């Protein structure tokens, strides 16, 4: 019998599109997927043919202003992108967590009535914070972790957002100590909110908990951390990436180098505001024997006199593009990170915030590409890293093995089967 499955992703394209991929597979099993959505994101889900119900995550504002909230937030922090993950704790990270806590408070005003209207049989939430109404609705709920695997903590792996190496325990300790110190007033405020809604307070630094029903990690096992406390499969499952279906993409013909390797450059929908950096990368690519597709988001008017081997656009159907490229330069967002691994494409990651730092470190220490500082690099270093991505046999072999593993475990279908089982189906 078909059941209603509600998805509530964070108001960002990474989590949103991951949930779209799972919802596509759920619908194929005959269930009814619906989305709980920040009002600025309802059109995203409707564009994929899904029903979407708005849930206010902030004070009421015009839809166009709401849709630009995080873009403006990111652009206001561009000077902080030059700082280390540790150096970002007292600015970007602190401001982010304050906004996220506020979003949980606003959501609690709408969620009870929206859930009562939809009457879902199962709720899947992809966020970094607890929404009490979901936990208290009386139906099974699943936590989706579309960010780095270390969002589920362990004493022997790097703390989330730190960018620390797997075995750099001094870095782990320093980041945790500073994070907990800076975040304490925000965390205290969140605990007061939890208590006012009948929930027990969380330990310092924790804003969410594992679901007792199931937790789905987008992360692929070939790059998973060695944990002190392994995650029990009955409660945690790796999805080995979760690549959504997108429309086919035809690579455009360029004025030169059409027979040369193809490079894809994207800093995501939010990172496109860093136009000076993208212009610098485009300038270097114009001197190299490659072709390039560059995602410039809503800033196309900022680009003039492009090299003959570079094509820009405001948006690309990324999975369809990455499947055809030879290498990528990206910000370390988890979609870009896992899609490159899924299709066996080497990547240079230039992180700027959040788990991009973790993924940049991880791509290099697992031999799937390179971490490059976002600003402190030379033209020669970028060219050398691209050459290595395209020609290093060890990187190519590692990527081939990881890609084969991930493609043998279809993440969308695996997630849908798990959700199907939680609803009482075999």
Q: Mean pLDDT over residues 195-212, rounded?
A: 96
Q: Are residues 279 and 341 in the same domain?
A: yes
pLDDT at 309 over 80: yes
Residue 230 φ/ψ region, left for φ over 0, alpha for ψ in the -120 to 50 degree band, beta for the rest:
beta
**267 assigned to some structural domain:** yes
Q: Are residues 180 and 98 in the same domain?
A: yes
Q: Are residues 155 and 135 in the same domain?
A: yes
CB under 8 Å to 318, separation ≥6 — which residues?
A: 246, 266, 335, 336, 339
Domain of 402, in residue numbers: 262-407
Residue given tokens 């078909």 in the structure block: 2
Q: What is the pLDDT of residues 310-348, one digit of tens each?
A: 999 998 999 899 999 999 999 998 889 999 999 999 999
Q: Are residues 216 and 286 in the same domain?
A: no
Nearest 10 degrees: Cα torsion 16, 418, 235, 406: -70
Q: Are residues 301 and 417 in the same domain?
A: no
Q: Are residues 232 and 268 in the same domain?
A: no
When mean pLDDT is compared across 21-25, 126-130, 170-174, 241-245, the lowest value belongs to: 241-245
pLDDT at 246 over 80: no
Q: Which pLDDT does position 42 carry in this prediction?
A: 92
Q: Are residues 363 and 381 in the same domain?
A: yes
User: How far is Cα 155 from Cα 173, in angstroms, rounded to an integer?
Assistant: 10
Q: Are residues 279 and 217 in the same domain?
A: no
Q: Structurally, how many domains does the chain consist of?
A: 2
CATH number of the domain enclosing 343 = 3.40.50.2000
Q: Are residues 201 and 349 in the same domain?
A: no
pLDDT at 426 over 60: no
**293 assigned to some structural domain:** yes
- Residue predicted with more confidence, 35 or 355: 35
């Amino acid at each position: 019998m078909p059941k209603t499955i509600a998805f509530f992703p964070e108001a960002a394209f990474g989590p949103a599109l991951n949930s779209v991929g799972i919802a596509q597979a759920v619908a194929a099993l005959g269930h009814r997927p619906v989305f709980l959505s920040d009002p600025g994101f309802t059109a995203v889900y409707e564009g994929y043919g899904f029903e979407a119900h708005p849930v206010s995550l902030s004070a009421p504002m015009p839809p166009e202003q709401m849709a630009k909230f995080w873009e403006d937030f990111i652009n206001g922090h561009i000077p902080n992108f030059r700082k280390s993950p540790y150096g970002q704790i007292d600015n970007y990270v602190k401001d982010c967590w304050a906004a996220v806590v506020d979003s949980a408070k606003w959501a609690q005003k709408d969620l009870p009535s929206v859930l009562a209207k939809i009457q879902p049989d199962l709720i899947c939430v992809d966020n970094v914070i607890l929404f009490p109404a979901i936990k208290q609705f009386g139906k099974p709920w699943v936590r989706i972790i579309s960010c780095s695997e270390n969002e589920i903590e362990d004493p022997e792996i790097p703390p989330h957002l730190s960018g620390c190496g797997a075995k750099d325990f001094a870095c782990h300790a320093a980041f945790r100590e500073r994070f907990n110190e800076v975040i304490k007033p925000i965390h205290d405020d969140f605990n007061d909110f939890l208590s006012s809604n009948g929930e027990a307070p969380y330990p310092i630094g924790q804003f969410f908990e594992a679901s007792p029903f199931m937790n789905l990690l987008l992360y692929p096992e070939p790059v998973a951390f060695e944990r002190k406390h392994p995650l029990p499969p009955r409660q945690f499952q790796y999805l080995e990436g979760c690549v959504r279906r997108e429309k086919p993409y035809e690579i455009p013909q360029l004025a030169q180098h059409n027979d040369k390797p193809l490079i894809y450059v994207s800093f995501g929908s939010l990172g496109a505001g860093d136009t000076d950096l993208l212009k610098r990368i485009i300038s270097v690519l114009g001197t190299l024997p490659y072709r390039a597709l560059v995602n410039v988001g809503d800033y196309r008017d900022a680009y003039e006199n492009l090299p003959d081997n570079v094509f820009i656009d405001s948006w690309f159907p990324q999975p369809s593009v990455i499947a055809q490229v030879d290498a990528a330069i990206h910000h370390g967002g988890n979609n870009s990170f896992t899609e490159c691994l899924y299709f066996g494409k080497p990547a240079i990651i230039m992180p700027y915030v959040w788990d991009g730092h973790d993924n940049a470190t991880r791509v290099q220490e697992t031999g799937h590409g390179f971490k490059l500082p976002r600003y402190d690099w030379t033209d020669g270093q970028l060219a050398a890293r691209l050459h290595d991505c395209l020609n290093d046999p060890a990187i190519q072999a590692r990527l081939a093995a990881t890609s084969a593993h991930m493609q043998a475990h279809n993440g969308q279908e695996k997630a849908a089967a798990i959700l199907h089982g939680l609803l009482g189906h075999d």
